[in-house]
């Protein structure tokens, strides 16, 4: 059948259009495929540039105690990760440990260790050659190494004063759970058992959530939890207006002649609340104290009670994560100590003396006793003891204002 020129032209145009359409579609498909492959490559590269590290899951204040539940693992770009960031749960665990004499514990791929010079290195034995287990470097021995068998496995140790591995390895006895280090004395290898303490960990500075955690941001607290530590409640200490839970303070004794003594150094305070769980108690703090600190503060309370014009007050640390604890310089009065500690064993045997002094000081600092104190000061004025009068008057005004301002501050917190 003959096709006229118009039909032929129309068919050719249709076929040409189909070819062009298919060509464009193919180009688009190839382009999209290349884009998709590029995106996948970029995604894989991005994934390869990330690793899991520990970050904070909340904001913390400088000096605040950190707990393990404040850390979480998160994928972070490698370029944003400090070189000393940690991704091992065991490393975070070891941050809370130290020896009985205050040495910090660290952890690497092998296990726990203490940073201090040590002439004993652990060896591994392969193909007739001994190696330093820490870095797999070869060692040259003058004699046979010392051996110790643990759970059927032989460990090898040697002395090497030239070792760059200046650390003391800490091992755990799996049967007892006790930790020990190796010592070589009198040409004999022995275990020296050590006791480890769990120590509160503090943030050195204010840190925001998602901060990548390194040991540079934390410090072990001076407040080691000892067996004789107890939570004590005090309501006769003059408190800063803005004191809140987790703040650190020194507790000081001020005498009317201007002498100022540090009784207790750098203790963390907790502000109790009423039974409703919301309303703060304005004049009371809880602190954890050792037995010797309890006795020292008890002595200071009795002396503040017995010396007119003396008072106890709390002094806040500005940056507790970075500031070291001040050195206490208060020495309990011998007579007061004997009165408190009748057996001489460092334990308060006569708490009635302390309780009476605490109750009196709490009353003395209250606004209700202001008129009574003013009457006493007037008597001093009449006796022309102007110096003592000025001291007493300043103390009275300071304590009254401090208590009133603190109550206003805590009321504002209750309303938040």
What pLDDT, on a 0 to 100 scale, did the predictor assign at position 146? Answer: 85
Beta bridge partners of 52: 75
Q: Are the beta carbons of 53 and 72 closer than 8 angstroms?
A: no
pLDDT score recorded for residue 198: 77
Out of 90-104, 261-275, 294-308, give the one with best mean pLDDT. Answer: 261-275
The pLDDT of residue 387 is 40
pLDDT per residue as tens digits for the range 68-118 = 888 888 888 777 777 777 776 667 777 778 887 778 888 777 788 887 766
Least confident span in 170-179, 315-324, 383-392: 383-392
> For 43, phi and psi rounded to 5 degrees?
-65, -45
Q: Which of 90-94, 124-128, 163-167, 203-207 has the lowest mean pLDDT?
A: 163-167
pLDDT tens readout for residues 6-39: 666 677 777 777 788 888 888 888 888 888 877 7
User: Tell me, what's the pLDDT at 384?
Assistant: 39
Helix/strand number for the chain, H first, E second: 7, 22
Mean pLDDT of 350-363: 57
d(CA 91, CA 82) in angstroms, rounded, equals 15
Q: Is the pTM of the predicted complex or chain greater than 0.75?
A: no
pLDDT tens digits along 160-189: 655 555 678 888 888 888 888 888 888 888
Distance CA 31, CA 52 (A): 35
385: pLDDT confidence band, cut at 50, 70 and 90?
A: very low
Name 7's Cβ contacts closer than 8 Å, sequence gap at least 6.
Answer: none
Of the listed ranges 48-52, 103-107, 280-284, the one predicted with least confidence: 48-52
- Say what percent of the chain tops pLDDT 90: 3
Backbone angles phi, psi at 221, to 5 degrees: -70, 155
Beta pairing class for 120-126 and 153-159 = antiparallel
**Lowest-confidence pick of 97-111, 259-273, 337-351:** 337-351
Domain chopping of the chain, boundaries = 97-198, 230-414
């Amino acid at each position: 059948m003959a096709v006229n020129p118009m039909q032929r032209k129309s068919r050719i145009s249709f076929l040409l259009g189909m070819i062009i359409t298919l060509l464009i579609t193919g180009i688009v498909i190839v382009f999209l495929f290349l884009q998709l492959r590029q995106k996948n490559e970029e995604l894989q590269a991005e994934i390869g540039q990330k690793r899991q590290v520990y970050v904070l899951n909340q904001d913390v204040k400088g000096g605040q105690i950190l707990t393990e539940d404040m850390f979480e693992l998160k994928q972070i770009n490698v370029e944003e990760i400090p070189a000393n960031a940690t991704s091992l749960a065991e490393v975070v665990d070891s941050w809370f440990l130290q020896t009985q004499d205050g040495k910090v514990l660290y952890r690497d791929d092998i296990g726990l260790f203490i940073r201090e010079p040590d002439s004993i290195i652990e060896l591994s034995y392969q193909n007739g050659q001994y190696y330093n287990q820490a870095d797999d470097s070869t060692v040259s021995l003058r004699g046979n190494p010392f051996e110790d068998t643990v759970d059927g496995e032989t460990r090898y140790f040697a002395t090497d004063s030239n070792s760059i591995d200046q650390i003391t390895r800490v091992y755990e006895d799996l049967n007892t759970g006790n930790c020990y280090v190796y010592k070589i004395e009198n040409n004999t290898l022995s275990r020296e058992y050590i006791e480890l303490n769990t120590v509160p960990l503090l943030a050195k500075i204010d840190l925001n959530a998602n901060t990548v955690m390194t040991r540079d941001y934390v410090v072990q607290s001076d407040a080691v939890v000892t067996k004789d530590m107890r939570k004590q409640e005090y309501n006769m200490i003059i408190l800063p207006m803005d004191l809140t839970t987790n703040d650190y303070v020194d507790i000081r004794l001020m005498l009317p002649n201007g002498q100022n003594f540090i009784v207790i150094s750098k203790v963390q305070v907790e502000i109790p609340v009423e039974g409703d769980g919301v309303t703060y108690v304005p004049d009371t703090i809880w602190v954890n104290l050792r037995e010797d600190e309890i006795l020292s503060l008890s002595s200071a309370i009795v002396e503040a009670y017995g010396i007119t014009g003396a008072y106890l007050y709390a002094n806040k640390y500005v940056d507790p994560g970075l500031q070291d604890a001040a050195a206490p310089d208060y020495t309990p009065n011998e007579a007061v100590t004997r009165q408190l500690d009748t057996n001489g064993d460092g334990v308060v045997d006569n708490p009635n003396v302390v309780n009476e002094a605490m109750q009196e000081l709490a009353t003395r600092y209250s606004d209700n006793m202001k008129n009574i104190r003013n009457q006493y000061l007037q008597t001093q004025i009449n006796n022309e003891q102007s110096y003592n009068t000025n001291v007493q008057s300043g103390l009275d005004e300071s304590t009254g204002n401090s208590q009133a301002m603190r109550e206003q501050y805590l009321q504002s917190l209750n309303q938040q």
